[in-house]
Amino acid sequence: MIVKFLKNSGGGSAKATMDYLLGKDKDREGARLLSGDPELTKRLSDSLSFQNRHTVGVLSFEEVNLPDDYKIAIRESFESCLLAGLEKDQYNITWIEHTDKDRLELNFVIANTELTTGKRLQPYYDKVDRPLVENWKQVINHEYNLTDPHDPDKAQAVKTLSSQNLPQDIRKIKEQIGQVISHQIEQGNITDRKDVIDTLQQAGFEIARQTDKSISIKNPDGKRNIRLEGIIYENRQFNEEFAEERRRARKEYAGTGSERYRTARNKLQRAIEVKQERNRASFGREYQDYQREQKRLSTSIGMENDARGTDGRSTDRIPYSVSNEHMDRVQSKEQESRISRDYTKDRAITFGSQGTSAGGGSRERWDDLYSDDRGRESEKFQQQDQSRIGNQIRLEHERLFDTLQRASGHDGEKDLTASNTDRAIDRSQSSVERTEQLITATSRGIGKREQATSDHERQADQFIEISQEKTRAVSRGIEIDF
C-alpha cells in the first residue's frame, strides 16, 4: 500500500473531483461510497474563499480487495494520524472506494476548513507531514501484512503502483516482465542491458526506445508504448556480484521487518504528538474554551473595576499571589479593629452626654451588646488558634506512632535494636515537648490578644468620657483645652 496526495493545481472545484470519483451521474463502475456525504463535502469546499479549498488523496493497494473491517480500521487510523488533535465534528471527509483497476483504492476528499471556527485547515503540508504519512504507511503495511513497496523484489513496480490511470492489462504486462527479468538475473542468465533486450525480443516484444534508466516496448494492442522502469532496466552490468547483492538485500530486508516496524511506530507516535499540539493550538476545544473564559473574565473584571471607581471606592486590584489564608488573617484583624472603632463612634453619637439613645436604650444595654460582639469575635479567634494547635498536635502524634511502629517492626522491616528503639522514643518525646511549648506560646498569644482587646475597651471608655466632658463644657460656654 502507498499513500498519494493528488495535486489541486489552480484550486480546482470539488464538484469536478466528485464527478471523477463517482461519475457525473453517480454511475462510475467499481466506485462505492464508504463514508461521508459527497454533496456536503462538495458544497462546503466550493463555498470557501481559499485558493486550495479541498485536499484529495488515495490509499492504493496492490491487493485486489480487503475485508470491510480492515478498510474501516485503516481509514480510521489514517484520519486519527493526519488530523490528529481534532474531533470528528471538527472536519469533513468523504471516502470513496475504487476497484475498477484490478486493485483496491480508497480515495478521500477533505474540505479545507475547521468546522467549529471556520478557519482554514490544511490537512497535509508535504515538507512537514511527509514523515508522518510515510511512517504510518510502513506501520499499516506491517500490521495488515500488505504489499511493501520498499521490498527489493518490488522495487521495479513502485511507479506502476503509483500510476492511478494505468490500465489493468498494462499493469499485468509490466509485473510479468519484471518477475521474469529479475529471476533470470539471479540465475545468472542476464548480465547486462543487451541480455535484457534479447530476453524481451525473444518473448515477442518490440523495442521502441531506450534510455539509461528505462526501456520502452510497443504495446501489442497498438496503443501507447509501455515504459519499463526500475533497476533491472537500467544500462548497467548484472554479474554474479549484483545477483548476490540482490539476494542479500532481500534477505536482510526480510530479517529486519520487526525492527523497521518498531522504529516506524516510534517515529509515527512522535509525529502525531507534534501534529496534535499544532492542531489543538489552533482549533482545540480546550484552547477555544480557555480563550472564551479569559475573554469573559477580562470583561467581568473590567466592569467590576469600573463600578468600583464610580462609587468612590478604591480601584486597586488584589494580586493573585495573595493566599486565601493570608487574606483571612488580614480580614480578621480588620474586622476586630472595625468593631472597636464602630463601637466607639456609635456609642458617642447615640448617647452623647445623656447616656441614653433616641429609642430610650441605656448605655449599659449598648455596652452589653458590644461585649457580646467582642466575645463572639474573641471566641472565633480562640477556636481558630485551637484548631491550628490541634492539627499540629495530631501531626506530632502521627510521627510518634510511625516511629514506634517502625521500632516494633510492624512496617515489614527488620526489628530495630534496643538502642535504636530508645533513640526513636527520645526523639518522639522531644517532639511532644516541642508541641507542649508551642501550646504554651500560643496560650500566651491568646492572652496578649485578650489584653489588647481590653485595652481597646478602656481607650474607648476614656474617649467617651472626654467627649462627654467636652460636650458639657461647651454647653456651659466654657472652653477647655484637652
Domains of the chain: 2-124+264-280 (3.30.930.30), 152-255 (no CATH), 326-475 (no CATH)
Q: Region 208-212: what's the mean pLDDT? A: 92
Q: What is the pLDDT of residue 359?
A: 43
Mean pLDDT of 249-265: 86
How far is the C-alpha of 52 from the C-alpha of 43, rounded, in Å? 14
Contact (Cβ atoms closer than 8 angstroms) between residue 457 and residue 378: no
Say which residue, 372 or 161, is predicted with more confidence: 372
Confidence of residue 330 (pLDDT cuts 50, 70, 90): very low
Nearest to 154 by CA among 241, 236, 249: 249
Sign of CA pseudo-dihedral 223, 224, 230, 235 = positive
Q: Is there a contact between 199 and 190 (Cβ–Cβ < 8 Å)?
A: yes
Residue 343 annotated as catalytic? no
pLDDT, tens digit, 9 for 90 and up, residues 108-123:
999 999 999 999 999 9
Confidence at 366, pLDDT banded by 50, 70, 90? very low
Q: Rounded to 5 degrees, what are φ and ψ at 236? A: -155, 175
Q: In the predicted model, is pLDDT for residue 67 greater than 50?
A: yes
What's the pLDDT band for 105 if we cut at 50, 70, 90? very high
Is the per-residue pLDDT at 83 higher than 90? yes
Q: What pLDDT is stored for residue 413 in this prediction?
A: 43
Position 36 pLDDT exceeds 70:
yes
CA 30/CA 101 separation, integer angstroms: 8
**129 pLDDT more than 60:** yes
Determine the Cα angle at 54 with ends 53 and 57, to 5°: 155
Reading across the β-sheet that carries 2-6, which strands appear in turn? 2-6, 54-60, 105-111, 93-98, 31-35
**Is pLDDT above 70 for 286?**
no
Name, of 62-76, 348-362, 382-396, 428-442, the range with top average pLDDT.
62-76
- Would the pTM of this model clear 0.75, i.e. be above it? no
pLDDT attached to residue 97 = 97
CA–CA separation, 465 and 463 (whole Å): 5
Higher pLDDT residue, 442 or 458? 458
Express each pLDDT in 408-434 by its tens digit. Answer: 554 444 444 455 555 655 665 666 666
Name, of 135-144, 154-163, 405-414, the range with top average pLDDT: 135-144
**Residue 272 clears pLDDT 60, i.e. is over it:** yes
Instruction: Point out which residues pair with 60 in neighbouring strands.
Output: 2, 105
Q: What is the pLDDT of residue 4?
A: 93
* C-alpha distances out from residue 77 to 55, 136, 259, 272, 391, Å: 18, 9, 21, 11, 54
> Pick the residue with more confidence: 295 or 410?
295
Q: What is the mean pLDDT of residues 274-299?
A: 72
Grid cell at residue 39: 454533496
- Per-residue buried b or exposed e for 416-434, using 16+ beta carbons within 10 Å of the residue's own CB: eeeeebeebeeebeebeee
Pick the residue with more confidence: 163 or 425? 425
Q: Beta 207-210 vs 214-217: how paired, if at all? A: antiparallel
pLDDT of residue 274: 94
Place of cell 469573559: 296
More confident residue, 5 or 296: 5
Distance CA 358, CA 376 (A): 27
**Percent of residues, the chain, with pLDDT higher than 70:** 57
Averaged pLDDT, 431-446: 66
CB of 57 within 8 A of CB of 4? Answer: yes
- Contact call for residues 389 and 439 (beta carbons, < 8 A): yes
Predicted pLDDT of residue 247: 76
